[in-house]
Amino acid sequence: MTIEVGFSILPAFLATDRLFVAAASVTFAFVLGIATGPFRGNARPLFWAVLEGSVGRLGKRLDRPKRGRKDLILRGVVVLALGLLLSAVIGGLARAAAWSIPQIAFAEAFLLSLCLTNGAVLHMMFRLYRAHGSKKSLSGAYHAAACSSSVDMSGMDDFGITRNALGFAARVTAMGLVAPVFWYIVVGLPGAYLYAGLAALSWQLGREGASPFFGRPLRFAEAAVGVVPDWITGSLFALAAAFTPTASIVSAFQGLFTSQGRAPYAQGGVSPSVVAWTLNVSLGGAVIDLDGVKRKREWIGPPGATAQLGAGHLKRGIYLVAVTSLLLAAGLIVAGVYVG
């Protein structure tokens, strides 16, 4: 199989091999993630750890709330530039590595999967589901959910833990699965790495709007390139409702287009909103992240929905996320066959 991997936009839509490679990468991340679970308790994409442990660590040192507004915004711009530079370098090296291997398609699929997550998220959710069915509290099973979502769950009840895990799964499906695949198809492997690096820093330092000045450049940049994939993810969630027990596809599409009970983009945008409407639950609520910063999340979902999420809600959430991943892979294959 030959594959077009150049850093160009227009030819990408004609490079059908990218569609098949993306489908293989989604499947690979799905199977391996379910089999192995979150890496060191973290269900976010593996490449995110590179940015979070380097530029992200520097960003935490530079984010000083007592500094002036302009100073904080400038610092955010510097961190953004460093993150994009590092992501571009690593993405370029990844493309060069793929070119150096005879099995280019396999190499591209593997390297793209480092920017993705889906199976590890399902593994995390399933552990929480099993804990619901046991006599023990969720306190023994929330480690991966806390590390992945960067939320301090030590003071949460079981409802709050489940709510947070479901909201994380919805948002990371957009930022850690659909968006990197979208930019891989449009631009190639460097595009996937550039977006993944930007998403990692926006997640870590943007703090869902709780960092109003320092995190603003990161959130703005991610929103500029993430809003279209977010809508695609929401649409996939809505279609997945047709295959999810007791989920309402009518409510799903209502959540896709309504402005009522919609999450602001900094809190996830369309994706968690559709999940909340589909499952008739309320997601959100104030939390404290692992750095001790309070995040004032808005409540999202249809009027009258319950915020007391239990095992049944989590089970349907697992169905929804799993089917969405499978629909994405199947859609890429069908598109590749049709275009080819």
The pLDDT of residue 133 is above 70: no
Question: HSE on the CB side for 33, CA within 13 Å?
Answer: 32
Q: Is residue 308 pLDDT above 50, yes or no?
A: yes
Predicted TM-score (pTM) of this structure:
0.93
Residue tagged 């007592």 (tokens): 66
Q: What is the mean pLDDT of residues 145-156?
A: 90
Give the pLDDT of residue 150: 92
The identity of residue 246, as a single letter, is T
Averaged pLDDT of the chain: 90
Burial pattern 130-167, b for ≥16 Cβ within 10 A else e, equals ebbeeeeebeebbebbbbbbbbbbeebebbbbbbbbbb
Q: If you average pLDDT over residues 52-75, what whole number do you get? A: 93
Q: What is the pLDDT of residue 136?
A: 60
Joined tokens for residue 214: 């320092």
Whose CA is closest to 283, among 239, 268, 293, 240?
A: 268
The distance of Cα 238 from the centroid of its chain, to the nearest Å, equals 17
The answer to whether residue 340 scores a pLDDT higher than 80 is no
Q: What is the pLDDT of residue 339?
A: 81
Q: Is 106 exposed, middle or buried (0-12, 13-18, 19+ CB in 10 A)?
A: middle
Q: Which of 162, 166, 175, 121 is closest to 144 using CA atoms?
A: 121
- Number of C-beta neighbours around residue 260 at 10 A: 12
Q: Where in the chain are the domains?
A: 10-228+324-339
Phi-psi region of 179 (alpha: psi -120 to 50; beta: other; left: phi over 0): alpha
